[in-house]
């Protein structure tokens, strides 16, 4: 029998886009917009921005959604590919790892590129939480609680964040509120500098008042103060620490990115935004879901032979401020370290669950272009039901060895 050998290839992040993020609910900008149409918009924008790519060269479309029903169901990677006008030869699939859905769409298809089975893929995610609240229609097995497999609080993300506060008593509500204010301020500064607009594709919207055009995120609250946040209720626990001000909201939105083998990117004249170095996912106690990024990061650092000091830029998903601060405290990083979330984060712009991983990657890639002195960066996030995911990336613009 003949044998074959496969040489591992470099995987590169070519380009990423997202829709503006909206507030979930009947008054949100996407209340009358379908989830699959949001995905279509991002796919078409990637093709518009990269006209040298023949759509027939796309080997896979992987789209994540946490609540895979209605207009987020029916193997959305394939249906969105058809709706976006890709050739019928382009396959697609759906994927779910809750908040890390888009991140997993990237790592899964990147593995196929690295193994030589794909050349170019589209990976992303969508969440229309207004139409499909997290967990809608789900039926958790009663044994989770009856057999005491998880603490009852594990099934409510806000409660897991309160539990994380209990594990890190030094992370006070005042500290999380201060972090939240900084996130709002950094996002507002990045928006005014034009950095956020570079990542967005405008979306036509429809409502009872007529047609509109979404060109910017709906959730940000520029000018938020500590005094404003101190007045908010703590819905998950009496006299608790989690509020709507120091956590991401309920949001609608979609993301998508182009990945390719580095050799293919050079052949086709595609830009190389960053190279994938390694990734890891790790499970943790579901009752403290937010600690997941810590062991996931330790795992990928060990695999790649890097240390936390090698990381020059961090994009950490802000599901809750306490989750970010627990990560920073564990690794001995200051709350206001300039390497962390330079453009703010989900507390400001929103967190449409399965879409957020590619938002982090898109921002990191663009930050790399502005920071040739930085070689490595990472994207990391906590994941519902007790997991964390981290991807380490290398800056192709790094000038440190020149």
- 75: tokens are 């193997």
Given the structure tokens 């209340």, which residue do they identify? 31
Which SS3 state, helix, strand or coil, does residue 31 take? coil
CA distance 50 to 40: 16
Active site residue 128: no
Please answer whether residues 397 and 369 qualify as being in contact, where contact means their C-beta atoms are separated by less than 8 angstroms. yes
> What stretch of H or E contains 177?
helix 173-192
Give the length of the chain. 402
In three-state secondary structure terms, 251 is strand
Helix (H, G, I), strand (E, B) or coil at 38: helix
Handedness of CA 63, 69, 72, 73 (dihedral sign): positive
* 251-to-19, 312, 319 alpha-carbon distances in Å: 12, 29, 12
Check: CB of residue 175 under 8 Å from CB of residue 242: no
- Catalytic site residue 257? no
Which is catalytic among the residues 99, 128, 165, 257?
A: 99
Which residue in the block uniquely carries the two structure tokens 């802000």?
A: 318
Centroid of chain to Cα 385: 17
Whose CA is closest to 118, among 261, 7, 266?
Answer: 261
Residue 349 is a catalytic residue:
no
Q: Which residues are catalytic?
A: 99, 351, 382
């Amino acid at each position: 029998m003949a044998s074959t050998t496969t040489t591992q290839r470099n995987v590169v992040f070519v380009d990423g886009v997202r829709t503006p993020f909206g507030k979930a609910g009947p008054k949100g900008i996407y209340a009358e917009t379908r989830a699959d149409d949001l995905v279509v918009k991002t796919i078409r924008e990637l093709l518009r921005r990269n006209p040298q790519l023949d759509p027939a060269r796309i080997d896979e479309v992987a789209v994540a959604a946490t609540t895979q029903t209605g207009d987020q169901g029916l193997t959305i990677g394939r249906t969105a590919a058809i709706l976006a006008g890709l050739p019928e030869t382009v396959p697609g699939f759906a994927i779910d790892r809750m908040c890390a859905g888009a991140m997993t769409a990237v790592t899964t298809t990147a593995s196929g590129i690295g193994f030589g089975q794909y050349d170019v893929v589209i990976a992303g995610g969508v969440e229309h939480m207004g139409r499909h609240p997290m967990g809608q229609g789900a039926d958790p097995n009663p044994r989770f609680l009856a057999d005491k497999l998880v603490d009852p609080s594990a099934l409510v993300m806000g409660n897991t964040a309160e539990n994380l506060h209990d594990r890190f008593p030094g992370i006070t509500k005042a500290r999380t509120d201060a972090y939240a204010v900084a996130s709002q301020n950094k996002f507002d500064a990045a928006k005014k500098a034009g950095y956020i607009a570079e990542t967005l594709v405008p979306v036509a919207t429809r409502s009872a008042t007529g047609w509109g055009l979404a060109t910017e995120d709906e959730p940000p609250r520029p000018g938020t103060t500590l005094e404003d946040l101190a007045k908010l209720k703590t819905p998950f626990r009496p006299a608790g620490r989690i509020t709507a001000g120091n956590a991401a909201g309920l949001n609608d939105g979609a993301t998508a990115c182009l990945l390719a083998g580095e050799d293919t990117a050079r052949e086709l004249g595609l830009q190389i935004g960053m190279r994938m170095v390694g990734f890891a996912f790790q499970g943790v106690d579901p009752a403290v879901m937010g600690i997941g990024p810590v062991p996931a990061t330790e795992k990928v650092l060990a695999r790649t032979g890097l240390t936390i000091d090698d990381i020059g830029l961090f994009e950490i998903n802000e599901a809750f401020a306490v989750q970010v601060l627990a990560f920073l405290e564990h690794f001995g990083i200051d709350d206001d370290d300039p390497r962390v979330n330079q453009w703010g984060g989900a507390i400001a712009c929103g967190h449409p669950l399965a879409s957020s991983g590619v938002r982090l990657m898109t921002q990191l890639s663009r930050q790399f272009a502005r920071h040739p002195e930085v070689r490595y960066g990472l994207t990391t996030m906590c994941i519902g039901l007790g997991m964390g995911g981290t991807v380490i990336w290398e800056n192709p613009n790094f000038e440190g060895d020149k």
